[in-house]
Amino acid sequence: MGFMERQVVRGFIDGALSVLGVVIGASNAEISIVISAGIGGGIANAISNAFGAFSAEMVEEEIKLSEVEKSMLLDLRKTEIYKEIRKKVMLRGIIDGTSTAFGSFLPVFPFILSLIVGYSVNLALALSVGLTATSLFIIGVYYGIVSKRNILISGAKMGLMGVVTAIATFAIERGLRLI
């Protein structure tokens, strides 16, 4: 799996799991609040991941460039090499943020659909957990194919991440209701 593929998968997983926690945590509120919290959390996470990836990648590329400049006794910052490095770094930040945004939409989608169709918040919540866990299972199957491992075990491990996230955030949400 290439670097860009890893960023897409990492961003997607981050967006899906973090927003799953947000919608579960907000699930005791009106559905519009759950949707707002999920979308707001997803957008904030996507922006944060885009800037974080950009910053981290830029530092790493600057370190590499600095080593090359020292060995060549040149300043490469006004060259095509530097422009290409900047483009690559920007692309990685955009990919990271976009994949995070896409992943974060999945847990919110059942709640948006419930406004249109009219089913309950509890059903939207169950669908949100199921959709997130299923998408993670599919990513796990892909990991299994790429790494030539058992695809069902790889899928189950990834899907389990969604279930563990759901259980942990349900426990917090239910526990805070008791206070």
pLDDT band at 101 (very low <50, low <70, confident <90, very high): very high
Q: How confident is the model at residue 1 (pLDDT cuts 50, 70, 90)?
A: low
Whether residue 27 contacts residue 125, with contact meaning beta carbons closer than 8 Å, is answered with yes
Where in the chain are the domains? Answer: 3-177
pLDDT, mean of residues 10-35:
94
Of the candidate ranges 10-24, 46-60, 90-104, the one whose mean pLDDT is the lowest = 46-60
Average pLDDT, the chain: 89
Looking at per-residue pLDDT, the higher value among 71 and 118 belongs to 118
Q: Can you give the pLDDT at residue 53?
A: 86
For 122-171, the pLDDT digits (tens) are: 999 999 999 999 999 999 999 899 889 999 999 999 999 999 999 999 89
Q: Please tell me the predicted confidence (pLDDT) of residue 164.
A: 94
For the ranges 14-18, 67-71, 101-105, the lowest mean pLDDT is seen at: 67-71
With a cut of 70, say whether residue 116 has pLDDT above it.
yes
HSE (CB half, 13 Å, CA atoms) of 179?
A: 6
